[in-house]
Amino acid sequence: MAVFNKNTLTQVSGFDNQIIAGELVFNQKTYWNLTLNNSDGTPRNLTGATITSQIIRRQLSNVRDSRYGLTFDIADYSPPPSPISLTIANQNLSGGSFTLVIDESAWSVVSTDTQLDINASNPVGFSGNITVAIPASGSTPAQDLIIFLLFLVRSNGVTN
């Protein structure tokens, strides 16, 4: 898994926001089991919450492996693609947990994409977020918890 430069991650998520960032291989399937906790470490009760996730293709440039991790510039892709919904599975809202499913084959990246060339200096990139929409409860107002996402997709060494 790639190590990302802190400044690169800040470009995507800001200074104090949570982010999941990773480097994927073309057509890789994986998942992340996530549990949201209260400040005391106990699982947060998310009963009534709605959890959604979307990503969108981004243009990466100036990708470099620096002393402090991968660094690059990220911008809107042209022409602008449609957002892609990711699957949220295994929801245990009372226990604060769910699974984010990664199925890169559904992201409209094709094997002939030039950014998948084994020698591509700027790989395919996606950014997005997971939104946990928590409804109002009593005197507590509604709240959205946002976890940012950043994925680079590289050649598998066979494709292209």
In a domain, residue 79? The reply is: yes
Q: Output phi, psi for 114, to 5 deg.
A: -65, -20
Per-residue pLDDT tens digits for 5-52: 677 777 676 667 888 888 887 778 889 999 999 989 999 999 999 999
Q: 140 has which bridge partners?
A: 137
> Does residue 62 form part of some domain?
yes
Confidence of residue 89 (pLDDT cuts 50, 70, 90): very high
Q: Is residue 96 part of a domain?
A: yes
Domain of 36 in residue numbering reads as 6-154
Does 160 reside within a domain?
A: no
**Cβ atoms 96, 48 nearer than 8 A:** no
Query: Cα(116)–Cα(135) distance, rounded to whole angstroms?
Result: 41
The verdict on residue 87 lying in a domain is: yes
What is the CATH number for 42? 2.60.40
The whole model's pTM is what? 0.84
Could you give the number of structural domains in the chain?
1
